[in-house]
Structures are given as structure tokens and as C-alpha cells.
């Protein structure tokens, strides 16, 4: 009886050890699978982040020209890669400075009617829209210089394609002050001071010449 028991126990122990080994192997395999899956997701997220950081990005903004009331439309590639096969569109006509004519219709300009092969990083397109006080004056025709419009941009880089629409609203610029550069203002003051000094010097020189002429006559 004891001999039979001694033979059965090792056999059962071996089976239990084998089962435990199988379970541990399955557990490690499952953990390895989940780790690989998590790493793959992390790598994918990093690739997407790198692609977003290095992609081209065509930004559409409005600005006021320094020292003037001229409102401008600025289109710039603020991304790190060139925007290839760029196509810009305006959703309505906009006549620059209110001058009606196909040559002054911004929507018909080459940049908005023809594809642009490439817009390199930090390159920009700048368009004068018109004088702010003229665009916003009472009775102005909103179909000539509309206060709101939409600019669409479609472009490519490598295998990726991008499409964006920007709503432009000029109304916040109504009643705003004309921007002035402090350096330019200081130079203007210096120029005026030099002009005044030149006038004083000329007057003094003329006075000296007249005095000298009078003395010569007396002699």
C-alpha cells in the first residue's frame, strides 16, 4: 500500500508542476502581448505627433499695416514643411479699396484662382483689402467690400492631404487705432528736429550774409 502511494504522489506532483508551468507561460505570453500592443500604440502616437509638428500649416489672419489704416489679409505657411499644390479660394468677391473691376477682385487674383506649386515654410502672401474707414463707412456696399468672408486652403505634403477653412471677420477692426512703430515715430521726431535746425541755420546764414553785405557797402 505504501509503495503504491509513493508512486502516485510524484506522478500527481509532476502533473501539477506541468500545469503551473503552462499557466505561467500563458500569463507571460498575455503580458508580452499587451506590452507589445501598448508599445505599438505609443509608437503610433509619437509618429502622429511628429507628423503634426513637421507638417505644413497655412494660416489666414488679418492685420493693419503699420502707420496706415489699411487692413490686410495675410496668408502664411507657419508649419515646418512646404505646402505643395496649394489651392486658395474666397467664397465671395472682394474688391480691393472698393474699386470695382476684375483686376481689383481679390477672388479672381492668381493666388485665389490658380494652384500654387509650393509655399515654403514661413513664406507669406500679403493682400491689401482697403482703408478701414472706407470699408466700414455708413452706406458702403457690403457686396463690394464684405465685412465677413471665408478663405479655404487645400494643400499636400508627401502622401498627406490637408483641407482647412478660415472665417475672416473684419468687424472687430472697426474703430481701432492705427498702429505706430515706436522706432519709426522717434525717427520722425528726429527728422523734424533736423528740418527745424536746418531752417534756423539757413536763417542765421542769410542774416550773416546780409550783415556782411551791408558792411561791404559802408566800406
pLDDT digits (tens, 9 = 90+) for 147-201: 999 999 999 998 899 999 999 999 999 988 887 766 655 666 667 777 777 776 6
Task: Supply the pLDDT for residue 185.
Answer: 58
Task: Supply the pLDDT for residue 114.
Answer: 96
Q: How confident is the model at residue 74 (pLDDT cuts 50, 70, 90)?
A: very high
Task: Supply the pLDDT for residue 218.
Answer: 59
pTM: 0.65
Question: Percent of the chain scored above 70 by pLDDT?
Answer: 75
- Alpha-carbon span 170 to 93, nearest angstrom: 15
Mean pLDDT of the 75-95 span: 96
Task: Supply the pLDDT for residue 28.
Answer: 74
Instruction: Locate the domains of the chain by residue range.
Output: 1-54, 58-173, 183-212
Q: For the structural domain made of 58-173, what CATH number should be given?
A: 2.60.40
Q: 103-162, pLDDT tens digit by residue?
A: 999 999 999 999 999 999 999 999 999 999 999 999 889 999 999 999 999 999 988 999
Task: Supply the pLDDT for residue 60.
Answer: 97
Q: How confident is the model at residue 67 (pLDDT cuts 50, 70, 90)?
A: confident
Task: Supply the pLDDT for residue 7.
Answer: 46
Ramachandran class of 101: left when φ > 0, alpha when ψ lies in -120 to 50, beta otherwise: left
Q: 48-65, pLDDT tens digit by residue?
A: 666 568 899 999 999 999
Q: What is the largest CA-CA distance in the chain?
A: 161
Beta strands in 14-141 (DSSP E): 58-64, 70-77, 83-90, 116-119, 124-131
Partners of 41 in beta bridges = none
Characterize the bridge pairing of strands 124-131 and 160-169: unpaired
Task: Supply the pLDDT for residue 36.
Answer: 75
Mean pLDDT of the 69-97 span: 96
Mean pLDDT of the 83-91 span: 97
Q: How confident is the model at residue 46 (pLDDT cuts 50, 70, 90)?
A: low
Amino acid at each position: 500500500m505504501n509503495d503504491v502511494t509513493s508512486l502516485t504522489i510524484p506522478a500527481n506532483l509532476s502533473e501539477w508542476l506541468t500545469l503551473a508551468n503552462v499557466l505561467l507561460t500563458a500569463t507571460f505570453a498575455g503580458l508580452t502581448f499587451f506590452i507589445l500592443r501598448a508599445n505599438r500604440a505609443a509608437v503610433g502616437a509619437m509618429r502622429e505627433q511628429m507628423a503634426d509638428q513637421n507638417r505644413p500649416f497655412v494660416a489666414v489672419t488679418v492685420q493693419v499695416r503699420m502707420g496706415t489704416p489699411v487692413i490686410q489679409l495675410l496668408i502664411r505657411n507657419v508649419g515646418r514643411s512646404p505646402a505643395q499644390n496649394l489651392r486658395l479660394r474666397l467664397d465671395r468677391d472682394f474688391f480691393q479699396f472698393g474699386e470695382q473691376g476684375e483686376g481689383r477682385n481679390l477672388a479672381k487674383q492668381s493666388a485665389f484662382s490658380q494652384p500654387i506649386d509650393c509655399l515654403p515654410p514661413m513664406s507669406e502672401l500679403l493682400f491689401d483689402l482697403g482703408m478701414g474707414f472706407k470699408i466700414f463707412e455708413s452706406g458702403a456696399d457690403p457686396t463690394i467690400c464684405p465685412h465677413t468672408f471665408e478663405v479655404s486652403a487645400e494643400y499636400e505634403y508627401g502622401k498627406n492631404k490637408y483641407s482647412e477653412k478660415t472665417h475672416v471677420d473684419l468687424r472687430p477692426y472697426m474703430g481701432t487705432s492705427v498702429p505706430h512703430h515706436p522706432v519709426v515715430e522717434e525717427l520722425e521726431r528726429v527728422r523734424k528736429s533736423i528740418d527745424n535746425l536746418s531752417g534756423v541755420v539757413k536763417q542765421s546764414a542769410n542774416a550773416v550774409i546780409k550783415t556782411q553785405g551791408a558792411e561791404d557797402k559802408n566800406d
